[in-house]
Structure 1
């Protein structure tokens, strides 16, 4: 055979092998990626549907299936929470359904911006005429049911998960992802496969090797902070010869709010500072990883001591994580020690318990014991709280706010206390969690406000009370406050205090309610200012009358120069805006003197007077 023809034959053979390999690789990659995508989507839909139950709460469907009405405000609140969750999870819809007389109705549903624009937001107990037989069969299924169907909202892949309420009635929760989104992900996988395969076959071995080395590094590194990520953690645990290790998963509680308020650039700076903080303090055998937007992990290969616990507990919430802007954060952590195969899962379980109990750190080995003890404590405490309400043992205590210049009481803050059957006095930290879970925080606020009205009605004494965003979102409670203000002879003596975080999260609702309060003559302060975002120009738009500094800032003003400078500059700015500034938890003379030096005149704390059941 002539040499030219021989070269051509080898060339054609080479191209044939190339194209066969190329298409084989594309097909393999597509099928592998498709399986992974479908598995991830199924898992994502399942997690979302289960989360709907927790977002709505157990009592929600107890009420619905009992035939009792759900208030408009409660439904709107749940719809908003579901919509935000669906948006966060990048799903089309999440919802809950009930079956009545062989017809399916929505008991709760998320909505999209398009739904709002077109007036197609699903309302409470809206019928769902497009329900398929598979949809109805899901009410009787013991396993999650997947379905691909089309209705007036679009073409979706859906999941239905069956639950049973306390009365034995079934309902389902569901989640949808649009087929177009699914197809787009599959198309992207094909495109990536073609590009990657072409690159692999046409680039020299050395360049390809360098490329894949860099690719591996980028996959295992968080691009925004430069620290190792969850891929690196999983790889390290998988490849290590150590079978017993210690892992802490830490969540920065405020980071998502910081990101939504200031943007991802600021939140990444906060995260980078926290990562560097722990990097400088963990033992040499430890590693540090950024797992997600707001989670980090600390890994140790030695488990002889609880060094990780000490490092985490030493983190000081009162020191700003970022100074420009001034931002404080708090942490919750779950720690697990033991078999590497269960390490990540167990640490996550411990973290969930820490967040639930509002604790800094919980170890996995203590979780189940704490849960059992917590259940018993909750049952006992719920009974004790109910008895306190029934026997008028929910009472106000009064703590004086002193003017350090005039040496006189400026006003009193009204604080809730529960008197036990044995006469012991409990502060809200003791019973507030049970109150919220029992939905009795509204009656608590109503009771304390009524008792304070009775206490001060015939005096010229100024007094303050804390209320929350949930209070004003409750129509009956907000109307109660307005009615009492109309009846009170001197409403200008009443000060309502909102938490700074509520003012940010529910800015529009609180702004409207503040206008109502001020029209009635009352004053409004922002409580615990400096605990979160410390954005005074934004807060000032609420037309407030004053600020109460966060106790964490105040308690370290005499030992922390940054805290002192922050408070000093804040006071000067507040004076220009004609805002009062109050410092709480002033517990000794050193703090009081430092505050006075920084320009603060109104102070509250045990250094001046503790809360008492009477006023001087």
Structure 2
């Protein structure tokens, strides 16, 4: 992969810088060497100019008599003081430069010129026009500036006899000069060794600077290389990831495009709607070839039923650069009508201009058909193809309180199904439906309701009495008709309830039907005397009472004593359920037990009584019994609850579960399994209200019970002969099976003695004690 930064270029930079530094060092060294001569000469000239100015200044002071020339001020003359100043200057400057005023005829020996200086003086004598002399000697540079006799000099250096007395007395030399003669020179000597050392240090400093700079550059380059490497790696990683992401997105997009192309009907068109591309699905669904489609507009497939307003809305939407979605109709080449859900997307260029349109369509023809079929199925009975209960409700709602409704029910249809089988039963229903439909007159419609029930509805144009007579006639004819089904001749009868000119026709017709079934009548017409709304209201109040009691823990267990006739003492108690209403009044079981069973709240009552009874008898030695209904046995959660409570109770042999025999027991096999399960925990089983229900002695043999509780209706009439014979038979049967008997509702001493003489084991009733929240003392 091509890198963002080129590392080789960065590696080249320090190499080039090193070469440049070396060349620069070499050049600087040569420059130092070559420029030393000029540097020395210029510096000498500067010092010389300074000395001349200084010399001239002090000479003028003497000449102008500002400083009088005498023996005391003689040392201030430049000729005398220059040697002292030069010596002190040489000691102080870093280059050890010596500056002197010298002469070949010096009055002061300290100012006497040496050989090199004499050479310079001789040069000035031979070269009268040159004022300066510069020469490179072995150890130093020699600079000299000529000093010539001027008018002011002649006073001391002319004829001796003209010189001041103290000069003549002090000096014998340096007289007889003429104007313009070379008197001497300003001599400046600059040692080479000191200069070489100074310039070499500057060179070294330059080299060190370049080295430091080069080192910093190397450090910076190294940092850059590491940083660039890190950036490159990060960028490479991000580029790789982004490439993979783009590749993945591209693959997904391609798969989407491929999936869309395979599952949708795709076309492209230009801004005028002319087709420029169609996929295979478009060709397949339309029936046209590509050549027949390309270059044409979509009118070639548009169904004539498509509203023009919809087409106008389509164009206005997409021309405003918005996506159009809607339902369109096609007419295929073979003249089939298709329903399509379509989305049309305008494609824009970088200038936000429309360049073409892409349309994606989904054929929903079959979906629409299925929806219509489903709607028909929802309103139609699948067996008879008649309108169903849902359709009847729509009809009743649309007709409000007008019209008449009859509900017809086939009597004992369950037995027909059980005897002949469900297939014959279904065929019978179809035959009945056919016959009823044939007998329907104008403005009367037949409906099939759930199970074996039919409905006839007549609108308000049919008089209620006419409708009632028609229904009677139908019931009579069907009752006389033999339905021949699979070699069987089946006779049936119908029961019917009719309601007319009322609101809530269905409810009132149902009330009339129930009355007809209950009173074994074939037809009952609704009137206010059979209105069961009061009973419904009671049921609603009972359910509300139950729910409030369950919610607020107002389910109460009362305990009625059971007396042992042999031991003459109370040995057991039966837990009896009651409900305390919101005002504190105790409600008897008659007000809520049946409602609890119908409303599926009975299991809540059972669980509450079990918990309270287990708590009451946990710390005494009495046996106690709890009632269970067949509904409890069928409820898995209640069964599991009972088992969990038995696991917690320490003496399960004291527990008796009473199963009410007056309940309709349909599955004795399931009851046998349930009893066996409970007895595995050590409990005892009693059959309550024995003699009132559907059980027989053979079932009692299978159930392995411990007690039989004689039904109250037998005990109340125990003094009558027939009741005694029946009770004696039950007692004898029980003793043979080693089953103990308990007689309920014993209210008199006479009844107790009769039962004792008959061999009953236990009695229970108001004679012994009423149900109470406390046990007898």
State if a TM-score over 0.5 links the two structures. Answer: no
TM-score (norm 1): 0.45
Bigger RCO of structures 1 and 2 (CA < 8 A, at least 6 apart) = 1
TM-score (norm 2): 0.36
The structure that has the greater radius of gyration is 2
